[in-house]
């Protein structure tokens, strides 16, 4: 054994002994398999941390403590009897409160659905259940997945894992905070304009928006069916790859899913990140804050130091893509919400209501034009940007993580639009194009909060970007950073 292998091994043993919640999903799975931990121990470790962190961060809307412990005991008995359900057997996860489970409440972060019970189960939950995962509870989110800051007046704002008083990012706010704070080993999020990648960046974790059609949306609360994506959020790229291998694949209940087989975790294990060519945008041509630029440039230097083939690429203007996506989101969301918009207007968070309102003023022909433009823009991007590279590197957020007080909703609609546009400037275009995109930790800004970078892959090449993220993260150890509850800013 070399020093490079001894140190991670000792670090893992220490975590198993001191706090199993500090393990990654893949490590926890391995500890269950070799008998060094039980599923009940994992669940109790997560619940212990939830008790301490929840009052300060509010990542959960509801915790299924008793159910989770009972299920863990069942999984342990099954394992002792030689029955393993799947690759997530006995692993505690938690999910954004928008994935339906038949007979259970699913609020969508809204007042309107506070007591609403689902009449079906989301395919992604069924697949995780079948793989043996345990559901710890329902995670906080922006109302109806409609807001990139993650604020929620109905269930309380979810705070950033690294510092109370700062946004968690949204709309999968609870997923970002819970995973960074080690309250669960993995979570599902949804992403219509950046809702997985924004909280992943803000909380220093890995969040993957897969290719459009890769993962079923059946039983997931819709926001904009053309741009909605469901994906994993976890501490490492390997954890996301394992979750993706379980949830991806054709679903007869969602006709938009691709017939391509789900990528196997073994394939991720054998991918060679060193062979890939990385394209990047010239930092001087990006509209990003200096602190974000510094982190982005540091990442570029790290990649170059590893002798990975990397070259600058001329990026298209992202603003038109952003606007095309906005037309689609607003039009589809207005249609979905029309009934409640008229009958229960007072039950919406006012900024969410305002965002919906503009959708009713967009003519049908403009909406259809926007949908048709999607193919043209996707083709152009592949034939220009991806002509000579396998992966594209971009910032995730264009600004440092703001304080909750800086996104005060008493600001005008125009001010809020400007802020939200800044948060999703470089994420939303890839919902329109439908290409796989992930955010991975890249460093910290002056306030001590995480700052991520985005990797974008060609259609269906999730494992290219996950493998590359895994390679970079194995060199900089940013996945080992654990936020401290005592940090109050």
Partner 1 sequence: MNHSPDGAADPKPESGQTTQSEISAEAQSLIAALAQQSRLLRFDDDPYGYPVCLESLAREE
Alpha-carbon dihedral of residues 350, 356, 358, 364, nearest 10 degrees?
-170
Q: Is 224 a catalytic residue?
A: no
| 190 exposure class (CB count in 10 Å sphere: 0-12, 13-18, 19+) | buried
Which CB atom, from 20 or from 359, has the smaller least distance to partner 1?
Answer: 359
164 near partner 1, rule: CB under 8 A: yes
Q: Does 270 bind partner 1 (CB under 8 A)?
A: no
Q: Return the SS3 of 93.
A: strand
459 lies in the binding site for partner 1 (CB under 8 A): yes
52 upstream amide cis, omega within 30 of 0: no
DSSP state of 145: G
Within 380-478, strands assigned E span 391-395, 437-444, 450-457
- Catalytic-residue membership of 171: yes
Residue with smaller CB distance to partner 1, 68 or 442: 68
> Which of 458, 470, 472, 473: binder of partner 1 (CB under 8 A)?
458
Q: Which of 183, 128, 137, 136 is nearest to 159 (CA)?
A: 183
Binding residues among 201-240 for partner 1 as defined by CB under 8 A = 211-213, 226
CB of 365: closest distance to partner 1 in angstroms? Answer: 9
Task: Decide if 18 is catalytic.
Answer: no
Indicate which residue of 106, 142, 175, 195 is catalytic: 195
Q: Which of 205, 324, 392, 456 binds partner 1 (CB under 8 A)?
A: 324
If we measure between CA atoms, which residue out of 138, 129, 155 comes closest to residue 65? Answer: 138
The set of residues, in sequence order, having a beta carbon less than 8 Å from that of 116 and lying 6+ positions away, is 105, 106, 107
| 376 interacts with partner 1 by CB under 8 A | yes
Contact between 256 and partner 1 by CB under 8 A: the answer reads yes
Q: Does the protein bind partner 1 through residue 455 (CB under 8 A)?
A: no
Residue 409 or 482 having the CB closest to partner 1: 409
Judged by CB under 8 A, the residue of 277, 371, 419, 482 near partner 1 is 371
What are the CA-CA distances from residue 330 to residues 93, 164, 318 (Å)? Answer: 32, 31, 18
Contact between 344 and partner 1 by CB under 8 A: the answer reads no
Residue window 50-79: x/- pattern of binding to partner 1, with contact defined by CB under 8 A: x---xxxxx-xxxx----------------
Are 447 and 401 a contacting pair, CB within 8 Å?
A: yes
As measured in angstroms, the least distance from the Cβ of 363 to partner 1 is 7
DSSP 61: E
Q: Which of 16, 250, 417, 481 binds partner 1 (CB under 8 A)?
A: 417
d(CA 78, CA 90): 10
Residue of the chain from 12, 73, 114, 154 that contacts partner 1 (CB under 8 A):
154
| Token pair in block for residue 170 | 């949204």
Find where tokens 């001010």 sit.
415
Return the active site residues.
96, 171, 195
Q: Give the residues lining the site for partner 1 (CB under 8 A).
A: 50, 54-58, 60-63, 153-157, 159, 164, 211-213, 226, 256, 258, 260, 319-320, 323-324, 326-327, 330, 349-351, 354, 357-359, 361-363, 366, 369-376, 378-379, 382, 404, 408-414, 417, 434, 458-461
């Amino acid at each position: 054994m070399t020093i490079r292998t001894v140190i991670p091994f000792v670090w893992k043993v220490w975590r198993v002994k001191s706090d199993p919640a500090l393990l990654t999903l893949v490590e926890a799975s391995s500890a269950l398999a070799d008998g060094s931990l039980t599923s009940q121990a994992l669940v109790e470790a997560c619940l212990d941390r939830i008790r301490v962190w929840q009052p300060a961060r509010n990542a959960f809307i509801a915790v299924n403590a008793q159910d989770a412990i009972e299920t863990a005991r069942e999984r342990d008995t099954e394992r002792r009897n030689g029955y393993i359900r799947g690759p997530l057997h006995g692993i505690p996860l938690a999910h954004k409160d928008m994935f339906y489970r038949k007979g259970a409440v699913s609020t969508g972060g809204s007042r309107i659905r506070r007591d609403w019970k689902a009449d079906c189960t989301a395919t992604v939950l069924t697949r995780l259940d079948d793989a043996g995962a345990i559901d710890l509870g329902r995670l906080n989110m922006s109302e109806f997945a409609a807001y990139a800051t993650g604020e929620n007046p109905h269930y309380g704002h979810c705070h950033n894992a690294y510092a109370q008083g700062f946004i968690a990012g949204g709309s999968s706010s609870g997923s970002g905070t819970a995973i960074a704070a080690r309250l669960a080993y993995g979570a599902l999020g949804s992403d219509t304009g950046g809702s997985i990648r924004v909280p992943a960046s803000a909380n220093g974790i890995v969040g993957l928006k897969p290719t459009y059609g890769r993962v079923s949306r059946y039983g997931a609360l819709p926001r904009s069916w053309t741009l909605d994506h469901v994906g994993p959020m976890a501490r490492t790229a390997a954890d996301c790859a394992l979750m993706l291998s379980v949830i991806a694949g054709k679903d007869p209940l969602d006709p938009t899913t691709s017939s391509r087989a789900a990528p196997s975790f073994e394939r991720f294990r054998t991918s060679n990140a060193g062979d890939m060519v990385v394209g990047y945008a010239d930092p001087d041509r990006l509209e990003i804050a200096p602190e974000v630029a510094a982190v982005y440039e540091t990442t570029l230097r790290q990649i170059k130091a590893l002798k990975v083939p990397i070259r600058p690429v001329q990026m298209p203007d992202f603003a038109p893509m952003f606007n095309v996506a906005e037309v689609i989101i607003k039009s589809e969301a207005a249609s979905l919400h029309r009934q409640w918009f008229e009958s229960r207007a007072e039950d919406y968070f006012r900024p969410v209501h305002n965002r919906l309102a503009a959708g009713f003023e967009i003519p049908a022909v403009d909406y259809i034009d926007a949908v048709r433009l999607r193919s043209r823009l996707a083709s152009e991007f592949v034939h220009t940007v991806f002509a000579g590279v396998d992966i594209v590197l971009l910032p995730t957020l264009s600004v440092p993580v703001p304080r909750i007080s800086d996104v005060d909703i008493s600001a005008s609609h125009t001010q809020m639009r400007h802020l939200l546009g800044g948060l999703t400037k470089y994420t939303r275009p890839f919902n329109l194009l439908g290409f796989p995109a992930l955010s991975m930790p890249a460093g910290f800004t002056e306030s001590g909060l995480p700052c991520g970078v985005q990797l974008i892959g060609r259609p269906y090449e999730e494992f290219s970007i996950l493998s590359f993220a895994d390679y970079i993260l194995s060199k900089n150890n940013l996945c080992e950073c654990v936020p401290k509850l005592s940090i109050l800013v």
